[in-house]
Each structure stands twice: as structure tokens, then as C-alpha cells.
Amino acid sequence: MHALIVVAHPDKNSLTHAVASELSNGIVSNNSSHSFEFNNLAEEKFDPRFSSADLALFRNQASPPADVVAEQSRIDRADALVLVYPVYWWSFPGLLKGWIDRVFTNGWAYDEDADGNPVKKLGRLQVHLVGIGASDLRTYARHGYQAAMRTQIDHGIFEYVGARVASSELLLLTSTGAESHLETSRRIGRQIFG
């Protein structure tokens, strides 16, 4: 089994990258035949801007741009998609949101039937979400941020395309610090194909 781990943080020394690394260690710890690939959006300089070429694709007037096809191919090779990201303004960073906007396209991730009903095309894909936040659980609960993120991301994006969100974790401020997040990351990795 193969996982695509998408990381959206510009600092390779960040907790986000450390979490992604420990998660990948967890994936291969249970079974050496499991594999993973990192997609570091910042390092690879993915352009998140939705352009006229992307709009033409949405309108079924053009083929996908080459960078979009490359990203879709990476997802097509994966059995699991793992997104690891810092929480910015109670959601994805713009880089990751732009990746989803451009890559999860009409015709590839979803379509419409003759009656205009949505057709979900990514039903084979399992998704694992790992958000890293700088507030505590009380803050997320008091303001409804966690529920809002699940509605927006888990349901609004992945349910729409038929991908199953197998896990959705928020790693928030704790008294035990980053080490507990790294342990949680290894556990998530072990469970992806477990």
C-alpha cells in the first residue's frame, strides 16, 4: 500500500514537517512493503493560484495544465492521501487550499450526470487529515472551530468527491509539548494501512 503525504509548511524544521516524518515512520513500521511519497508543496513551488487555464478546465473547455496532471497522477498512485498542515485562520494554509482548488478538478475528482447531479469519482481514496494548531482544545470547542473545520474540509471537500476521511486529527497545545504530537503521528501512521 502507498501513501501520498502532502505537507504545506515553508519551514522544513517546523513541527508540521516533524509530524509528517514521524507519520511516515509509522506507515512503514508495521509492514516494510508499505511505502510513502512526500509532496512538500512549498519546496516543490506548487502554484496555488487558480488561473484562467484552471477555469477553462472547470468549464470543460481545456485539458488540465501539466502541473495539475502531475499532482493527480501522484494521487492516482496512492491508496491513502495524508494532509499534514498548520492551522491558519481556522483552516488550511492558502498553499494547501490552492492545491485542492487546482488538483481536485471537474472531470477527475467529481463530475455531473445528465441530470446535473454530482458524481463522486474518488471513492477508492482514503484520506487522513492532520492539522496542527496553536490553541488548546477548549478554545476550539468554545468557538466551534473544530466542528467548522470538519464541515468545511472533511465533508465539504472530501465527501463531495467521494473520498473517505478515515481519520481527522487536530494536534493542539498540550502540557506535554511536541513529543506527544510525534507519538500521536507515529500511531496515525501505523493505523493508515492497519
**Mean per-residue pLDDT over the chain, rounded:** 94
Q: What is the mean pLDDT of residues 133-158?
A: 89
Give the rounded percent of residues in the chain with a pLDDT score beyond 90. 84
The CA–CA distances, whole Å, from 50 to 38, 100, 116, 142, 188 equal: 23, 10, 24, 34, 32
What the block records as the C-alpha cell of 152 is 468545511
pLDDT tens figures, 27-79: 999 788 999 999 999 999 999 999 999 999 999 999 999 999 999 999 999 99
pTM of this prediction?
Answer: 0.94
The CA–CA distances, whole Å, from 86 to 16, 20, 28, 74, 130 equal: 6, 11, 24, 22, 9
Q: What is the pLDDT of residue 176?
A: 67
Enumerate domains of the chain plus CATH numbers.
Answer: 2-192 (3.40.50.360)
pLDDT tens figures, 98-110: 999 999 999 999 9
